[in-house]
Amino acid sequence: MGMDNNNLVEVENLVMYFPVTAGIMRRKVADVKAVDGISFYIKNGETLGLVGESGCGKTTTGRCILRLYEITSGKITFDGVDISKLNKEQMRNMRRNMQLIFQDPFASLDPRQTAGSIIGEPLQVHKLVKGQEYKEQVAELLKMVELEPRMSVRYPHEFSGGQRQRLGLARALAVRPKFIVCDEPVSALDVSIQAQIITLLLRLKQELNLTYLFIAHDLSVVRHISDRVGVMYLGRMAELTRSDELYDNPLHPYTQALLSAVPIPDPAVDRQRKRILLSGDVPSPIFTPGGCHFHPRCSVAMDVCKDQVPEFKDVGNEHWVACWRV
């Protein structure tokens, strides 16, 4: 789908199933279909937002791209290299170029390490610097994320939530990566702190020519930071297009329902718009519905939706959507 030389990441038919076992013999009885055959690309220097309800496979997709999971099937190309077939040692060398910022800024930091030790660890693991240069690099990384170099002797519990997330960002930047997976990096923070972290991410993207996969469920945050946005539902991609196009012209019924729930600051405008309420709950990723996964909750579903999986196709101007009605 639209693959070219300007793409840093290309994902083709990515499938990630987690086995469900039972009994003393731990026999496999089913699969959790976390990611069920998705394809997309991320261009050099862009931010791709990935949104959807909890449990739709957003985080799993990000971790598959980083090869933190052994994928079930599919192909992942990073900077022209098919990384889905690399062994652990080859992947270790590749990981300098791809990093991860975690959702929980406290659980992702070792409470027994100082801030300087946490940030500097990637430099030691990849044998990039040592001695005086190591200390200078740690100080520079702290300044880069707007923290004081003297804070390097503090422990994680001595920092606020926003400062901890800055530490996580500094650690990710230590090896000068090309690509960062931001896994809901602001969802655990206050709104005012969220804005600071988003502004910092945007500044660093410009200064260091970074490429982001920004995973979130807050659509207003995603709109602010993303160049393109992909909407996932139950392991599949429902829609993918430019950020402004998605918000102005959503084509998939699920995207329309999601956007109808985004708060609007103007009460007069908010009262006039129509909320789309979805019936039922998200089906289990173990027992997924046939055909289009969204059809049991879709108000405009047809018979074909129950039996056949809709093709994820470009309907013009790089607006991809998987719906029989489009």
Question: Per the structure, how many domains does the chain have?
Answer: 1
Could you tell me if residue 124 is inside a domain? no
Instruction: Answer yes or no: is 151 within a domain.
Output: no
Q: In terms of residue numbers, what domain contains 33?
A: 7-110+172-321
Give the pTM.
0.92
Residue 221 lies in a domain: yes
Pairing type for strands 81-82 and 73-78 reads antiparallel
Query: In this structure, is residue 326 part of a structural domain?
Result: no
Q: Is residue 271 part of a domain?
A: yes
Give me the pLDDT at residue 279, please. 80
Task: Give the pLDDT score at 112.
Answer: 95
**pLDDT tens-place string over residues 32-69:** 999 999 999 999 999 999 999 888 999 999 999 999 99
150 CB burial (10 A radius; 0-12, 13-18, 19+): exposed
β-pairing verdict for 179-183 and 313-314:
unpaired
Assigned domain for 227 exists: yes
Inter-residue contact 87 to 24 (CB < 8 Å)? no
Which pLDDT score, from 0 to 100, does residue 282 have? 87
Sort strands 73-78 and 7-22 into parallel, antiparallel or unpaired.
Answer: antiparallel
3-state secondary structure the chain: CCCCCCEEEEEEEEEEEEEEEECCCCEEEEEEEEEEEEEEEEECCCEEEEECCCCCCHHHHHHHHCCCCCCCEEEEEECCEEHHHCCHHHHHHHHHHEEEECCCCCCCCCCCCCHHHHHHHHHHHCCCCCCHHHHHHHHHHHHHCCCCHHHHHCCHHHCCHHHHHHHHHHHHHCCCCCEEEEECCCCCCCHHHHHHHHHHHHHHHHHHCCEEEEECCCHHHHHHHCCEEEEEECCEEEEEEEHHHHHHCCCCHHHHHHHHCCCCCCHHHHHHCCCCCCCCCCCCCCCCCCCCCCHHHCCCCCHHHHHCCCCCEECCCCCEECCCCC
* Parts of the chain with a pLDDT under 50: none
- Residue 79's CATH number: 3.40.50.300
Residue 130 confidence (pLDDT)? 80
CA distances from 301 to 280, 286, 307, 323, 325 (A): 14, 22, 11, 10, 8
How confident is the model at residue 321, as a pLDDT?
97
Give the pLDDT confidence score for residue 3 in this predicted structure: 58
Residue 146 is predicted with a pLDDT of 95
Residue 125 inside a domain? The answer is: no
pLDDT at site 1: 62
Return the pLDDT at 270.
67
Q: Report pLDDT digits (tens) over 251-287.
A: 999 999 999 887 777 777 767 777 788 888 889 999 9
pLDDT of residue 189: 86
118 belongs to a structural domain: no
